[in-house]
Amino acid sequence: MSPLPEAELVRSSVQLYRYLLRCCRRLPAGPVQQHYRHAVRQSFKVHADEDDPERIQQIIKRAIEDADWVMNK
């Protein structure tokens, strides 16, 4: 099960970015939330030049799985 029900609707990098920031809002306020928000932003910047559709889908799938793990932790 995904951390938020919208996970199945994520198809693009912008949708993923918004989804992950929404997940961060559900984390405890303070350093933990700030850490993951920063990590999401940095990852988005690192992968901004990715243009291979298959690789983008792999990144989206992995990011959702990682978000699920963090939210259940």
Return the pLDDT at 16: 92
Q: Which pTM does this prediction carry?
A: 0.82
Strands, E, within 1-73: which ranges? none
The model's confidence at residue 11, banded by pLDDT at 50, 70 and 90, is: confident
For 62, counting Cβ atoms within 10 Å of its Cβ (0-12 exposed, 13-18 middle, 19+ buried), the class is: exposed
Of the candidate ranges 6-15, 26-35, 39-48, the one whose mean pLDDT is the lowest: 6-15
Contact 26, 10 (CB under 8 A): no
Contact 3, 26 (CB under 8 A): yes
Instruction: State how far the Cα of 73 lies from the Cα of 68, in Å rounded to an integer.
Output: 9
